[in-house]
Amino acid sequence: MHPPETPVILRPSYLAICGGSHCAAMLLSLFEHWHAKPSCIFGAPWFSKSTPDMVESLLGLYKRDTVLQATQYLIERGFIEVREDPGNRFSRTRQFLFHPEAVIAARGDQ
């Protein structure tokens, strides 16, 4: 049996709010998907993803640097928040928090 697949979706509304960046728009869809999965960390819906995990989830369409730039863009727009693992200071895997209200506001509820 295969593990469940993560959908890679390019939404026109996400493409518009991501300044035409296909990578950022698809990554935003992935963050929305991961946010919807039940995985609370320390009482909030934070989830852990490494950069290689994100590159792989985008089917290898984008290289590491492009994914990092897209992630930074999403942080700057307030669509996601990032932190280091507060429970393991030696972990290099970052934790993310998706902000659906910021995405809805940016979309203008299109």
**Order of strands, sheet of 94-98, starting from the edge strand that comes earlier in the sequence:** 47-49, 94-98, 80-83
Q: Residues 27-60: pLDDT tens digits?
A: 999 999 988 875 655 556 888 899 999 999 999 9
Q: Residue 67, exposed/middle/buried by CB under 10 A (0-12, 13-18, 19+)?
A: buried
Q: Residues 7-24: pLDDT tens digits?
A: 899 999 999 999 999 999
Domains of the chain: 23-107 (1.10.10.10)
Dig out the tokens for 24 from the structure: 């950022």
Looking at residue 48, its pLDDT comes to 87
Q: Residues 55-106: pLDDT tens digits?
A: 999 999 999 999 999 999 999 999 999 998 887 888 888 999 999 999 999 9
Residue 84 CB: number of other CB atoms within 10 A?
A: 13
Percent of the chain with pLDDT over 70: 88
**Are 42 and 87 contacting, i.e. CB atoms less than 8 angstroms apart?**
yes
CA atoms within 13 A on the CB side of 9: 14
The crossing angle, in degrees rounded to 10, of helices 22-36 and 64-76 is 70
**Are 65 and 41 contacting, i.e. CB atoms less than 8 angstroms apart?**
no
The kind and range of the H/E element at 32 are helix 22-36
